[in-house]
Structure 1
Amino acid sequence: MTEQTAARAATPGAPGPHPGGPPPTTVPRRSWQALVVLLAGMFIALLDTTIVNVALPTIRTSLDASEATLSWIISGYALAFGLALIPAGRLGDRFGHKWVFFTGIALFTVASAACGLAQGDTQLVIARVVQGLAGGIFVPAVTAYIQLLFPGPVRGKAFAVMGAVIGVSSALGPIVGGLIIQAFGEEEGWRLVFGVNLPIGVATLVAAALLLPRKDPADAPARTGLDWLGLVLLSAGLVALLVPLIEGQDRGWPLWTYLTLAGGAVLLVLFAVWEIRYTKRGRSPLVPPHLFSHGSFTGGVVLAMVYFAAFTSIFFTISLLWQSGLGHTALESGLVSVPFAIGSIIASSQSNQLSQKLGRTVLVVGTALVTVGLVWTWLVLRNATPENLTHWDLLLPLFIAGLGNGAFIAPNAQFIIATVDRAEAGAASGVVSTVQRVGSAVGIAIIGSVLFGSLVITGPDTVGSGFLAASADAMAVSAAFSVAALLLVFVLPKQAGGRPAAAAAGPRRALAPAEGDAA
């Protein structure tokens, strides 16, 4: 959802605060039915960020996929998702959110089928990128509709339900993936991991056509143009950075990887220059440059990128270690992630109250717990042997990291957005949501490069020890990212600001947990 939607939702006639008195506390039954439809879409988008981790080793074996392909399966999804968020929100404002949501769900369903039917690693990566693009198309409509369909007091309940769906889908992903692969075998199992989206996607399409309002319940959509050149420059720059990070290790870091990295940096500079010129023409840029005149906002954006780079890569590393290195099943690999998921759900359910009482301290505590958990996990991996390492060794450190993740994920965007003027909250929240996804993609690219770059296997007897040592190196990088995130928290304000800012940021703030489900 963009700043235009947020602004319209707050105008008289829109289902936001009522200028003549308190807002209504009841909503039509059809609005709750629409919410179920919207959250069904949110469910499959977030399930796919976690369910795929346990399928990576079986995909590698089934398709004889390269090491870089495994990184692309996660990074490609995250990057495409993030880049689609702001343009999709703008298109929803312009043409109506119903058909943007419908189009995104349809494309996501088709892309899921293509993932399951892929006959080679290139086909799978392309389908996975399209799937991420589709998720980025329809997710902004979910938060936009919650803002538009529910008045102030009830809106919080709707977002709470959305938060519960986010937590449940994240927790279920690894377990569902493990159960499917366990039940149907490796070859059929990993394909059905993507196929589980098909019945939900089709049912959501039918329900969306019947239950979502034909027109957005607000004033006429704002006719704002989309910064297409800015989108192309940003996308090309980020892809140019990711390609060598993912492919470089696999190909021995040839000259083109360094040239591509330099080209990516140049494209991002051109993007910044273009955004400034575009703004001076009186147009609405993809990323408003004036936001970065706030030093704290710039630091907060870096924080979001670094934090999501830290934690989204944890189970990429552990899944490969558990299955490819130690020979455990996909279900056993999925069970390793359960303590983290439980910790995240517990802490996120209390994070709003804690942020109101503790202010920025809740983010300090959250990142500190994540740091402790990841450093502890690194020490376990560094000192264990393949014969004696079990999931019990990781239960407590991953639970602690999960508690920290839950405390951080929900309120982090609220504090970052509080660094800018309240009128800029909508634009700032869009930038934060996108950066979180980009951080996930960059984190997987870097961690994958470290993991496979340090993997040394000299024979069948050294597979376990090789993966264990490489996983320890990769976890050390994740822990270093979390330490950097802990230090960056202190650039944010001590309090998240007043109610108007929170309201303006609300829909985008609800996207924040969605960014964190790739764990």
Structure 2
Amino acid sequence: MTETVPTPSAPPSGRPAWEAPAGVTDKRAWATLAVLLVGMFMSLLDTTIVNVALPTIRDSINADEATLAWIISGYALAFGLVLIPAGRMGDRFGHKWVFIIGLTLFTVASLAAGLAQDSTTLIMARVVQGLGGGIFFPPVTAFIQLLFPPMKRGKAFAIMGAVIGVSSALGPVVGGLIIQALGETSGWRYIFFVNLPIGIIGVVAAIFVLPKLVAGAKSRMDFFGLLLLAGALVAILVPLIQGQDEGWPAWTYVSLAGGVVLLVLFALWERRVAAGGGSPLVPPHLFSHAAFTGGTILALVYFAAFTSIFFTISLLWQAGLGHTALESGLVSIPFAIGNIFAASQSDRLAQKLGRGVLVLGTVLVAVGLIALWLILLNVEAKDLTNWILLAPLFIAGVGNGFFIAPNARFIVATVDRAEAGAASGVIGTMQRIGSAIGIAVVSSVLFGIANLGGLKDEIAAKVTKAIPAAMQSGDYATPADAAKALGSQFSKQLLASHFGDAATMALFVSAIFAIVAVALVFVLPKRVSLH
């Protein structure tokens, strides 16, 4: 999963625009960046590597459809919820130890995920991974802003962007290679175990290399606000993920309504904290800017659109069409290439086109997703190949590259410069919440239409009907042999058909999200200062 780079906030009045922290040389600043990016590489690699492992996880621990959605959504939700608190804790106690604690937590959770023997343990480990990732991400951007002068900060953020692109692109392929080499039964565990040596090296290096900067902010944390927001989002996500599988019982609607009520209470609480001179989790005054409100909705909707693409394609390619994890990983390469190429050009185009680069990006993503939907609508699932999907995935990847890097700066530009830091935190949180909601909605559509429970009954009925003719042919010694062979044959045919139909509708939902994003991008200013 890709990230946006927050815009550095303006310094308080009366202070110089930038001054080097005591004892931090230029060489140490770059060494610090290298250590920080080790952690970032690991967390982003882990995000995309998991998609190709979902079908093998399902078979290995007998996971249900909801578990697969929670593996992605639980991580994204936990990551997003702690971004703002982690940034505040870094300001108060120092970013060094916040980074170390987050990276340690992520590494330990990776071990737990790899050792998980059941769905519940795996989901809990993924949630803790998300917490760890959300804790150590804010210190990365904070250190860049603190350690590098303006003329070098752009280069540091560019290197960070390149690491984001490369790690996101490598994830599916690395995951496929690991599972191919170590087998589908246990190979998926090593996509988590691979984090252990990287994490240990990163923690040790961070202890010795990262400077301990003087903490400044002393504001109290809004833990009750965080609890209300977390409760609201969980109350909304649980029925979205579990509802289809359980037939939408009454509790799902009660939970959705309760989530809305908690969101209202969260908004009221944040206003109360702000009115009392406290430090709210999400400053309400930011939303007095209509363009900022629209921009945060854009962040949510856009991330809901593009993060759900490979959840759908990975399950179609492996569970539906019977391809290997490596073959599934290779499908994503055109998107990754387009993303890396466009991201490298996005800053130059943003200076030239202004908001036009974001319009171009969202339009290309929408066009790519609509093309994918039309292909799945008109081509039988069994006839799908990597080559058929190459062009639309490349187009969507180019669009994603144009949008991801500059979008946060355009949204932040809708508020006062003194509010840039708080605005960046809200945007990052909305992106992750969008990812979680997108996966929840798309998985509900995908598994609802695939109807895997009904598929088993359909296969059994076809096998029962076909056994007499199969026995008359003389090809099978016993009815049990005929049933086994016919079951495999019908399973392959019907899985492809069911997953093809389901993936078609799931990609249609992703395309709708993308089209809404195209409309929302026009709420942003036409031009902003990018330096």
- Judge same fold: TM > 0.5, yes or no: yes
Equivalent residue, structure 2, for 1:476: 508
Equivalent residue for 2:299? 304
Q: Aligned in 2, Cα 1:483/1:316: closer, same or farther, shift over 3 Å?
A: same
Given that 1:2 and 1:90 are in contact with CA atoms closer than 8 Å, whether structure 2 keeps it comes out as no
Cα distance in 2 for partners of 1:493, 1:6 equals 18
- Out of 256, 260, 268, the residue aligned to residue 255 of structure 2 is 260
- Amino acid of the structure 2 residue aligned with 1:132: G
Is 1:224 matched up with 2:219? Answer: yes
Q: Tell me which amino acid in the other structure corresponds to 1:232.
A: L
Give yes or no for the alignment of 1:392 onto 2:415.
no
Q: State the shift of 1:370 in Å.
A: 0.4
Counterpart-to-counterpart distance in 2, 1:420 and 1:385: 49
Cα distance in 2 for partners of 1:222, 1:470 equals 50
Structure 2 gaps, min length 5: 460-490
Q: TM-score, normalised by structure 2?
A: 0.89
Equivalent of 1:176 in 174, 177, 191? 174
Structure 2: how far apart are the matches of 1:149 and 1:422?
20
Q: Describe how 1:374-389 pairs up with structure 2 within 5 A.
A: 374-389=369-384
Corresponding residue of 1:189:
187
Q: Distance in 1 between matches of 2:373 and 2:13?
A: 48
Contact 2:9 2:417 in 1 (8 A): no
In the other structure, the counterpart of 1:510 is: none
Contact 1:300 1:491 in 2 (8 A): yes
| Superposition deviation, residue 12 in structure 1 | 4.3
> 2:80 matched to 1:82?
yes
Q: Distance in 2 between matches of 1:423 and 1:41?
A: 29
| Cα displacement (A) at 1:146 | 0.8
Gap change, CA 1:327 and 1:35, over 3 Å in 2: same
Cα deviation for residue 7 of structure 1 reads 5.6
Question: What value does the CA root-mean-square deviation take over the aligned residues?
Answer: 2.0
Q: Displacement of 1:2 after TM fit? A: 13
Instruction: Decide whether the 8 Å contact of 1:359 with 1:495 is kept in 2.
Output: yes
Provide the rounded CA distance (Å) in 1 between the counterparts of 2:37 and 2:25: 17
Q: C-alpha distance in 2, partners of 1:264/1:386?
A: 38
Size of the aligned set, in residue pairs, is: 489
After the TM superposition, which residues 420-499 of structure 1 pair with which residues of structure 2 at under 5 Å, given as runs?
Answer: 420-456=415-451, 457=455, 458-459=458-459, 460=491, 461-496=493-528, 498=529
Provide the C-alpha distance between the structure 1 equivalents of 2:5 and 2:350, rounded to a whole number of angstroms. Answer: 25
- Measure how far apart 1:246 and its partner are: 0.4
- Listed as ranges, the matches of 1:147-296 within 5 Å are 147-213=145-211, 215-216=212-213, 220-296=215-291
Superposition deviation, residue 425 in structure 1: 1.2
Question: Given the superposition, is the C-alpha separation of residues 18 and 197 from structure 1 closer, same or farther in structure 2, using an over 3 Å criterion?
Answer: closer
- Within 2, Cα distance between the matches of 1:8 and 1:364? 31
SS at match of 1:454: helix
Deviation at 1:27, TM superposition (A): 4.9
CA shift at 1:387, angstroms?
2.8
Amino acid at match of 2:516: A
CA displacement 1:409-436 (0-9 Å, x = unmatched): 1111111111111121111111111000
Aligned to 1:97: 95
Q: Decide whether the 8 Å contact of 2:12 with 2:418 is kept in 1.
A: no
Alignment of 1:9-48 (within 5 A): 12=15, 16-17=17-18, 27-48=25-46
The answer as to whether partners of 1:10 and 1:17 remain within 8 angstroms in 2 is no
Identity of aligned residues (%): 66
Q: TM-score, normalised by structure 1?
A: 0.91
Match of 1:108 in 2: 106
* Counterpart AA for 1:107: L
Counterpart mapping for 1:318-357 below 5 A = 318-357=313-352
Alignment-derived partner of residue 64 in structure 1: 62
Show structure 1 runs of 4+ deviating over 2 A. 5-13, 16-19, 456-459
Greater displacement, 448-457 / 118-127: 448-457
Q: Quick one: structure 1 residues 70 and 10, their matched pair in 2 at CA, closer, same or farther if it must change by over 3 Å?
A: farther
Q: Equivalent residue for 2:468?
A: none
Give the C-alpha shift of residue 6 in structure 1. 4.4
Mark the CA change 1:67 to 1:2 in structure 2 (over 3 Å): closer, same or farther. closer
Question: 2:139 aligns to what?
Answer: 141
Question: Contact conserved, 1:9 with 1:148, CA < 8 A, in 2?
Answer: no
